[in-house]
Amino acid sequence: MHTILAKKQLSPNVTRLDLLAPRIAEIKQPGQFVIVRAKEGDERIPLTIADADPAQGTIALVIQAVGKATRDLVALEVCDAIRDVAGPLGHPTELITSGRALCVGGGVGTAVVHPIAKALHAMGVHVTSVIGGRSQEWVIFEEELAKCGDVIVCTDDGSYGRKGFVTDAAKEVLEAGGVDIAYAVGPVPMMRAVANLTRPFGVHTIVSLNPVMVDGTGMCGGCRVDIGGETKFACVDGPEFDGHKVDFDLLADRLATYREFEQRANACADGQCKIRR
């Protein structure tokens, strides 16, 4: 059992939980994730480790409440416990040790970008982070990323930072020159757009993929993705891949596979089991 030590609402549907997981906190690396199960019989949920404090033995998980399982998870309070936290899983992030990095985060993906930016900054890399949200209340991890380098905030409605998409600001950073590598984490359309943006600049681009994942060990095959024409498993071969080689169309299709089932589960959880089977 992993006790929740702190809980913070980051945006209307994004919650941060800091929980006790000393062995994971000690060995985790940027880009790695855990598989979480709140209680016996619950759905297994893959979550990136957004931060860790080895001295305190804690890890931070940032959860977007979009389905029944994630809604149940963020309903937990301080002193409650999560039954299973398995990890760290996946390959660590490919990091440069000098030069300049561009980190682009959209929505909850900004929390995934944070440990990458933190590790790059610790090695002396100049980090520029471009993060965005629909409006100010949807922007997360700005303060944490500001400790790692420059931060450009974008909002769709212009209520905070600059108005526009993260790709608009990212393009300006790329045009200024000097970017050695780019990292992008967020919705599939955003990661696709960043990869298309960096391609003509010849900037190596790494994206973190979030396909359907069950066991996290490569056995179920649910998280398979197409990378440069080859089938890979996000849980054991990733979750990060060369963004210029990802088949984003296939990824988007696979993410929609269980949408109807999720809608049905949400409706039943709300006492409205009227969705046709």
| DSSP for the chain, written as a single string | -EEEEEEEEEETTEEEEEEE-HHHHHH--TT-EEEEESSTTPPPEEEEEEEEETTTTEEEEEEE--SHHHHHHHT--TT-EESEEEEEESPPP---SSSEEEEEEETTHHHHHHHHHHHHHHTT-EEEEEEEESSGGG--SHHHHHTTSEEEEEETTSSSSEES-HHHHHHHHHHH----EEEEESSHHHHHHHHHHHGGGT-EEEEE-----SSSSSSS-TTEEEETTEEEEHHHH-SEEETTTB-HHHHHHHHTTTHHHHHHHHHHHTT---S--
The amino acid at 15: T
Query: Model confidence over 24-40: pLDDT tens digits?
Result: 999 999 999 999 988 88
Domains of the chain: 2-89 (2.40.30.10), 93-198 (3.40.50.80), 209-277 (no CATH)
Number of CB atoms found within 10 A of residue 141's CB? 25
Q: Contact 120/128 with Cβ under 8 angstroms?
A: no
pLDDT for 276 equals: 46
Closest by alpha carbon to 79, among 7, 15, 22? 7
pLDDT for 273 equals: 58
Q: Which residue has the tokens 């955003």?
A: 190
pLDDT for 211 equals: 74
Closest by alpha carbon to 130, among 111, 162, 95, 103? 103
pTM value is 0.87
pLDDT for 233 equals: 87
pLDDT for 78 equals: 95
> How confident is the prediction along the chain (277 residues), in pLDDT tens digits per residue?
899 999 999 999 899 999 999 999 999 999 999 999 888 888 888 898 999 999 999 999 999 988 888 898 999 999 999 999 998 999 999 999 999 999 999 988 999 999 999 999 999 999 999 999 999 999 999 999 999 999 999 999 999 999 999 999 999 999 999 999 999 999 999 999 999 999 999 999 999 988 777 777 777 777 888 999 999 988 888 899 999 999 988 888 877 665 555 545 445 555 665 544 4
